[in-house]
Homo-oligomer: A and B are copies of this chain.
Amino acid sequence: MGQIDNYDGDGLAELIKQHDIRNPETDSEVLPPIPFNLMFKSTIGPSAAAPVYLRPETAQGQFLNFKKLLDYNQAAMPFASASVGKSYRNEISPRSGLLRVREFLMAEIEHYVDPEKKQHERFSEVSDLTLPLLDSETQLAGRTTPKSMTIKEAVTTRIIDNETLGYFLGRIMLFLLKIGIDPSKIRFRQHLSNEMAHYACDCWDAELLTSYGWIECVGCADRSAYDLTVHSKHTGTPLVVKEALAQPVEVKEWQATLAKNLAGPRFKKDVKTIQAALDSLDQDTLAILAAELTEKGAVTITTTTPLSDGRTTTTSLPASLLSITQTTRLQTTRAYTPNVIEPSFGIGRLLYALLEHVYWHRPDDPSRAVLSLPVSLAPTKVLIAPLSSHPHLAPLARALSARLRRLGVASNVDASAASIGRRYARNDELGTPFGVTVDFESVRDGSVTLRERDSMAQVRGSEDEIVAAARNLVDGVETWEEVMGRLAVVVFKREEGNEE
């Protein structure tokens, strides 16, 4: 499995030839694979000479700002940056709704961490959470049943590489559950070494089950120091964190010193060349030469450029001209390139999977669909429905709408001529979680009803009570069960047919 990622274009061409792979529709031979740039190219400015590319990922914009971000955080580690934005890839064959598109919205966090301290301060908040892990070992054994285990266990056994990666996998799980993803349709799949991007040291995808199969919706990679190292190399700007060491460390160093007052007259203008040769020696070589110098009284040095005689590149240095000694210096800071843990959310894919997971129909009527969006995600929180088009009801509906707007609760008045049951049904399908109905009792005593989308249960109370309940429900301060417990539940006699 996953063997195809082991081949490059030429390798695939070979395979095509070897197995005589043909166009399944016409049975004609196929051409060998050609390289194709997945980035969109354009030109910028008045001349057509300056090519630009639409970004294929949002991460690099954050890495480019690393120095500023570190400054902003007063050089304290760890810290994180985040961005939400469009990315563009010239997919050859876009398909499957929002799952494979050419322009897509990504939300990415880059968490910068000391490679030697991949513990996470808030790890205990998620460590007991159980995740369905399809690790590489299981996949390589040809199986597809995830292992259910706590994050703590997975990190301890090194199935997940480190605490910080485990922490973010936990937070991704909690996020998926919060937005309404079906817990039975989540698995975390580890990348195999042959599919893992060149920069990653461990990578997991949160995959969600849809009608198109398991789809990667969130990635979580430990990108190691790859990106910052490459940016640093190409710009010549060090992208490192300097940390004061709690205990200064004694560093022992070999140093070769020419006795200049003697070496000058002896070697004349060759002194510089010889000094350069000595400076380029590494610590291990110096240690060996020091021993040799003590033992034999002289060492032979090779220079990179010929000496002034124009022929030789070696010279013997006696102990009278050269000393090699070990010195000790106190190192008080440590410099390192942070590693990056990157949770990366594909917003369109998450939205698509969510819509599949929360769309269902009433058991007794396949035509009555319901979109059970969580309250926090529903674009309209409250439907306001006057029972009929009677002119006494419209002003009450308008006043309710204005009142909810002032409280920051998004509502929508459906005053169309359709029956109240029909209007409930279509707003259920739009995902509106609550409905307030204004009827003739409202005109008499100011009371209104509040209906919950999934259960279709209703409570009745004064306008003040219902508005307060709606606000609490939308703010997540009170549950529907709690509201049912304290307000008058409306009981429909079966023969009245309720709203059906």
A interface residues (Cβ-Cβ under 8 A, vs B): 36, 40-46, 54, 74, 76, 86, 90, 92, 102, 414-416
Q: Which of B36, B42, B76 contacts A54 (CB 8 A)?
A: B42
From B90, B102, B414, A74 is in contact (CB under 8 Å) with: B414
- For A43, list chain B residues within 8 Å (CB): 40-41
Residues of B within 8 A of A41 (CB): 42-43
Nearest-CB distance from A412 to chain B (Å)?
9
> Which secondary structure dominates where chain A touches chain B?
loop
Please indicate the chain B residues that have their CB under 8 angstroms from the CB of A416 in the complex. 74, 76
- State the number of copies, please: 2
Q: CB-CB < 8 A to A415: which residues of B?
A: 76
Distance in angstroms between the alpha carbons of A414 and B46 in the assembled complex = 47
Which B residues are CB-close (under 8 A) to A74?
414, 416
Task: Report whether B44 and A90 are in contact in the complex, using a CB–CB cutoff of 8 Å.
Answer: yes
Can you give 18 A-B contacts (C-beta < 8 A)? Answer: A36-B46, A40-B42, A40-B43, A40-B44, A41-B42, A41-B43, A42-B42, A42-B54, A44-B90, A44-B102, A45-B90, A45-B92, A46-B92, A74-B414, A74-B416, A76-B415, A76-B416, A86-B86
Give 7 closest A-B pairs by Cβ, nearest first.
A74-B416, A40-B42, A42-B42, A46-B92, A41-B42, A36-B46, A44-B90
Collect the chain B residues with CB atoms within 8 Å of residue A414's CB.
74
Across-interface contacts of A54 in B (CB, < 8 A): 42
Extra inter-chain contacts (16) besides given A42-B42, A45-B90, CB under 8 Å: A36-B46, A40-B42, A40-B43, A40-B44, A41-B42, A41-B43, A42-B54, A44-B90, A44-B102, A45-B92, A46-B92, A74-B414, A74-B416, A76-B415, A76-B416, A86-B86
* Whole-angstrom distance between the Cβ of A68 and the nearest chain B Cβ: 13
Min C-beta distance of A338 to chain B, whole Å: 19
Minimum CB–CB distance for A216 against chain B, Å: 23
Question: With A and B bound together, what is the CA distance between A414 and B54 in angstroms?
Answer: 37
Q: Bound state CA distance, A422 and B42, in angstroms? A: 47
Cα–Cα distance between A54 and B46 once the two chains are bound (Å): 16
Q: What residue of chain B has the Cβ atom nearest to residue A85's Cβ?
A: B86
Q: Please, how many angstroms separate the alpha-carbon atoms of A41 and B416 in the complex?
A: 45
* Assembly CA distance A495 to B46 (angstroms): 63
Name which residue of chain B comes closest to A414, CB basis: B74
Shortest A478–chain B CB gap in Å is 16
Q: Which residues of B contact A46 (CB under 8 A)?
A: 36, 92
- Cα–Cα, bound, A90→B52 (Å): 11
- A41 to chain B: closest residue by CB: B42
The residue in chain B whose Cβ has the minimal distance to the Cβ of A91 is B45
Residue of B nearest to A88 (CB): B42
Nearest-neighbour CB distance to chain B for A430, whole angstroms, equals: 8
Contacts of A45 in B (CB 8 A): 90, 92
Report the separation of the CA atoms of residues A45 and B90 in the bound assembly, to the nearest whole angstrom: 6
Q: Which residue of B lies closest to A48 (CB)?
A: B41
Q: In the complex, what residues of B have CB within 8 A of residue A36's CB?
A: 46
Give bound CA distance, A303 to B416, whole Å: 49
A388 CB, nearest partner CB in chain B, Å: 16
* Bound form: Cα–Cα A92–B102 in Å: 27
For A46, the closest partner residue in chain B by CB is B92
CB distance from A135 to the nearest CB of B (A): 32
Who on chain B is nearest to A415 by CB?
A: B76
Q: How far is the CA of A54 from the CA of B86 in the complex (A)?
A: 13
Task: Collect the chain B residues with CB atoms within 8 Å of residue A92's CB.
Answer: 45-46
Bound complex: CA A45 to CA B54 (Å): 14
| Nearest B residue (CB) for A34 | B46
In the assembled complex, the CB of A101 is this many whole angstroms from the nearest CB of chain B, namely: 12
User: Chain B's nearest CB lies how many Å from the CB of A218?
Assistant: 22
Closest residue of chain B to A75 (Cβ to Cβ) is B416
Distance of A92 Cα from B47 Cα, bound (Å)? 9
CA distance A92 to B48 in the complex (A): 12
